[in-house]
Amino acid sequence: MKIILGMIGLGSAIAAGHAAAQASAADRIPDTMEARVQACTGCHGPQGRGVENVYFPRLAGKPAGYLYNQLVAFRDGRRKYVPMNYLLAYLPDAYLMRMAEYFAALNPPPLVQPAVKRSPEQVREGQRIVTQGIPAKKIPACITCHGAELGGREPGIPGLLGLRADYVSAQLGAWRFGVRTALAPDCMQFIASSLSEPEVAAVATYLASLPVTAARPLRQPGMRLPLACGSQPQKGGRP
């Protein structure tokens, strides 16, 4: 709570600056990366490794381009979570990129997850969707974009290992209800809103059942995706 209030304080202090905000936000940034990210690790865990709260995602090791896109989306209000929207308000792109690169380069061990009982039918249904998609609804297999080992794809597609079931359901729900949007064309918006509730539950259950391996984001510049995604430019280059 203290952290949240502190952050809202920082957000409104920056907002109050108005005219000079762009320049003064940059001035106020402390000059070591460890100091800069202290505001982040209270919620995202030391080195961005994640915390017990399932809704607070791990940052470490995700593709820098993906993390950067999320920071821009929070700053610009395309992805909504009030404490982060405030914290990032007015921060310049270059600074967001440096924070993204910082967390992308870290690789602390994954959190140990408590054992969970899962329905074998849900796990099987989730595996089918993740590996084969749902052709009747034109939903491509998740692995075509997120990688055969689900380690993600440079520059903009995150891995799907180590995400907890409630987080995955919440993010797919956020896309469906417009609380989370990515750069157009927003391929995940189409996918999330084409999945039924039981399909979302199956996918979330299956993903959470997978061991966290050392799979890293793939680098296959120019590879054609089954749907166009604004956050994954097809012709290579930084987003």
Binding site for ligand HEC (CB under 6 A): 3-4, 7, 37, 39-40, 42-44, 55-57, 59, 62, 66-67, 69-71, 79, 81, 83-84, 87, 99, 129-130, 139-140, 142, 144-146, 156-158, 160, 163, 168, 170-171, 174, 180, 182, 187-188, 191, 203, 225-227, 229, 231-232
Question: Quick one: 4 or 123, whose CB is closer to ligand HEC?
Answer: 4
The backbone torsions φ and ψ at residue 134, rounded to the nearest 5 degrees and listed phi first, read: -130, 90
User: In the complex with ligand HEC, which residue's Cβ is closer, 19 or 202?
Assistant: 202
Cβ contacts of 112 within 8 Å, gap of 6 or more? none
Toward ligand HEC, which CB reaches closer, 3 or 19? 3
Q: Count Cβ neighbours within 10 Å for each residue of 206-227 and write b for 16 or more, e otherwise.
A: bbbbbebeebebbeeeeeeeeb
The two tokens of residue 2 are 């203290």
Q: Cα–Cα distance between 174 and 191 in angstroms, integer?
A: 12
Minimum gap (Å) between residue 172 Cβ and ligand HEC: 6
Question: Min. distance of Cβ 16 from ligand HEC in angstroms?
Answer: 19
| For ligand HEC, the closer CB: 17 or 54 | 54
If the CB atoms of residues 19 and 135 are measured against ligand HEC, the closer one turns out to be: 135
Say how many C-beta atoms besides its own lie within 10 A of residue 120's C-beta: 9
Half-sphere exposure of 198 (CA within 13 A, CB side): 5
State the minimum distance, in angstroms, from the CB of residue 198 to ligand HEC: 13
Return the closest-CA partner of residue 153 out of 57, 221, 59: 221
CA distance 234 to 216: 20
CB of 89 to ligand HEC, least distance (A): 11
Which residue, 19 or 22, is less far from ligand HEC as judged by CB?
22
Distance CA 196, CA 201 (A): 9
Q: Nearest approach, Cβ of 190 to ligand HEC (angstroms)? A: 9
